[in-house]
Structure 1
């Protein structure tokens, strides 16, 4: 579940292994590029952490972030 904290939407996704986490990141990268809205994220083995905010809006959460979060959730659901 996404949580809004410190003017960011945050969520951590956990996968069975690194390969699955990386496949997820690859799919998210394609969507983020298409939306021209790129997340801050990190990956350590089977975990992918996101922080979404809109730089052009003063690093606040906007509809762009909510749309990207929904897209990320859909990718995760498709992989589950």
Structure 2
């Protein structure tokens, strides 16, 4: 697993919807009907991430969730982050 270049990141992020690079992390914000719906989504993300062995940074305030993806082993963004982002989007 390697850290992606800016060109590789630009190409990969073009395949996603709503994700952006913020502070050298792949980030997306989500808004749900209420806290229970938001927390249910977090639980689904946790199951997918754990199966991949790749754990996101999750931030939750009531019905809002922010997810940051980075690969700490390579000190940046890798293909694993984009793979997880795609899987997260399919949970919606």
TM over 0.5: yes
Q: What TM-score, normalized to structure 1?
A: 0.90
Q: Once the two structures are superposed, what CA deviation does each residue of 1:11-30 show, in whole Å capped at 9, x if it has no partner?
A: 10000000000010000000
Q: Secondary structure at the match of 1:50?
A: strand
68, 73, 85: which one aligns with 1:51: 68
Unaligned stretches of 5+ in structure 2? 1-17
Q: Distance in 2 between matches of 1:6 and 1:29?
A: 22
C-alpha RMSD of matched pairs (Å): 0.7
55, 62, 69: which one aligns with 2:85: 69
Unaligned stretches of 5+ in structure 1? none
Q: Distance in 2 between matches of 1:33 and 1:24?
A: 14
Task: Compute the displacement of 1:7 (Å).
Answer: 1.6
Q: Once the two structures are superposed, what CA deviation does each residue of 1:42-63 show, in whole Å capped at 9, x if it has no partner?
A: 10000010110000001x1110
The residue that corresponds to 1:36 in the other structure is 53
**Bigger Rg, which one:** 2
Q: What TM-score, normalized to structure 2?
A: 0.79
Q: Distance in 2 between matches of 1:57 and 1:11?
A: 21
Q: Distance in 2 between matches of 1:30 and 1:12?
A: 19
The number of residues matched between the two structures is 75
